[in-house]
């Protein structure tokens, strides 16, 4: 009996859906950031108007009172914890960008597996965009942008540097970073005070989880000496059974290792 032909259409469909997920996340992130920026500006204007009214700057009368009461929507004040959470998120993204850009320049990545090299460069760009979004939100809320790396995770990376000898070592460090980001943003969804910020964190968290899932699958193939299967499209017939589950070890995404909101905040 001849070898059965493997239908790769489903794998191609899943690959396309994965790309669509990131595109949707980018759109939702932009919408959430725009809504939050508008809401923050509106809140500041309302606060300044109330201060001006109390100081007697407004002309007394019905028209003056109406100008204070009219608004497109009620906006809650952003808390200091919101700003710290955004700054910590930006610090994680800053470190991720540095790690991925450094990895992209390593000879065994740059001149190695083309799929891995493409993933590293594309992921660095995505992390840069995420960091910019978090810093823009922090600034809109009246805080300072954070360009420094998360101190705890940066110490972990420094400790791991001497042991990085090949692609598997880079993948291991990247998995740790992506997991920390996904867990932190998942937890942040329940910690921030506005719907716009919840939407912002909820749009970025699944992208980081997707990065981790991809890296876990790559790690499994490298461990099985199957680096040639790290390709799009790949030879589905040769994939081990573990390739179907290696990237999704958790039914529900954990948050036990999420970074505290103060970990990467501007001091």
* Domain CATH number, residue 153: 1.20.1260.10
Residue 54 lies in a domain: no
Residue 258: phi and psi, rounded to 5, are -65, 145
Residue 237 lies in a domain: yes
Residue 260 lies in a domain: no
Residue 53 lies in a domain: no
Given this model, what pLDDT does residue 24 score?
66
Number of domains in the chain: 1
- pLDDT at residue 252 greater than cutoff 70: yes
Most confident of the ranges 67-76, 236-245, 252-261: 252-261
- pLDDT at residue 67 greater than cutoff 50: no
Given this model, what pLDDT does residue 219 score?
95
- pLDDT at residue 204 greater than cutoff 80: yes
Residue 57 lies in a domain: no
pLDDT band for 242, please (50, 70, 90 cuts). Answer: confident
Could you tell me how many residues make up the chain? 267
Residue 108 lies in a domain: yes
- pLDDT at residue 73 greater than cutoff 70: no
- pLDDT at residue 234 greater than cutoff 50: yes
pLDDT band for 3, please (50, 70, 90 cuts). Answer: very low
Cα–Cα distance for residue pair 125/185, rounded to 1 Å = 18
Structure tokens at 217: 């699958």
109 or 30, which is more confident: 109
266 or 18, which is more confident: 266
- pLDDT at residue 116 greater than cutoff 80: yes
Residue 231 lies in a domain: yes
Domain limits at 102? Answer: 9-35+79-244
Q: What is the DSSP letter of 146?
A: -
pLDDT digits (tens, 9 = 90+) for 18-59: 565 666 666 777 676 677 666 665 555 444 444 444 455 444
Residue 67 lies in a domain: no
Given this model, what pLDDT does residue 122 score?
92
- Poorest-confidence range of 44-58, 153-167, 245-259? 44-58
Interval 106-129 mean pLDDT: 94
- Poorest-confidence range of 70-84, 133-147, 210-224? 70-84
Structure tokens at 20: 């669509």
Most confident of the ranges 2-16, 208-222, 235-249: 208-222
Identify whether the C-beta of residue 177 lies closer than 8 Å to the C-beta of residue 96: yes
Given this model, what pLDDT does residue 120 score?
95
């Amino acid at each position: 009996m001849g070898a059965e032909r493997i239908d790769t259409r489903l794998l191609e469909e899943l690959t396309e859906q994965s790309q669509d997920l990131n595109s949707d996340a980018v759109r939702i992130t932009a919408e959430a950031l725009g809504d939050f920026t508008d809401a923050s500006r509106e809140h500041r204007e309302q606060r300044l108007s109330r201060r001006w009214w109390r100081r007697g700057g407004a002309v007394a009368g019905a028209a003056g009172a109406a100008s204070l009461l009219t608004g497109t929507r009620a906006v809650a004040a952003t808390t200091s914890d919101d700003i710290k959470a955004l700054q910590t998120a930006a610090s994680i993204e800053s470190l991720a960008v540095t790690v991925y850009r450094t990895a992209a320049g390593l000879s065994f990545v740059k001149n190695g597996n083309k799929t891995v090299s493409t993933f590293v460069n594309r992921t660095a760009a995505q992390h840069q965009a995420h960091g910019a979004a978090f810093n823009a939100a922090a600034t809109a809320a009246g805080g300072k942008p954070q360009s420094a790396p998360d101190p705890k995770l940066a110490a972990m990376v420094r400790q791991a540097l001497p042991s990085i000898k090949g692609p598997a070592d880079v993948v291991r460090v990247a998995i740790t970073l992506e997991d920390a980001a996904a867990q932190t943003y998942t937890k942040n969804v329940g910690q921030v005070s506005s719907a716009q910020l919840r939407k912002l964190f909820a749009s970025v968290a699944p992208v980081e989880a997707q990065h981790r899932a991809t890296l876990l699958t790559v790690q499994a193939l490298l461990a099985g000496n199957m680096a040639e299967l790290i390709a799009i499209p790949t030879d589905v017939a040769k994939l081990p059974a573990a390739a179907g589950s290696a990237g999704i070890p958790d039914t529900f995404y954990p948050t036990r290792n999420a970074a505290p909101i103060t970990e990467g905040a501007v001091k």
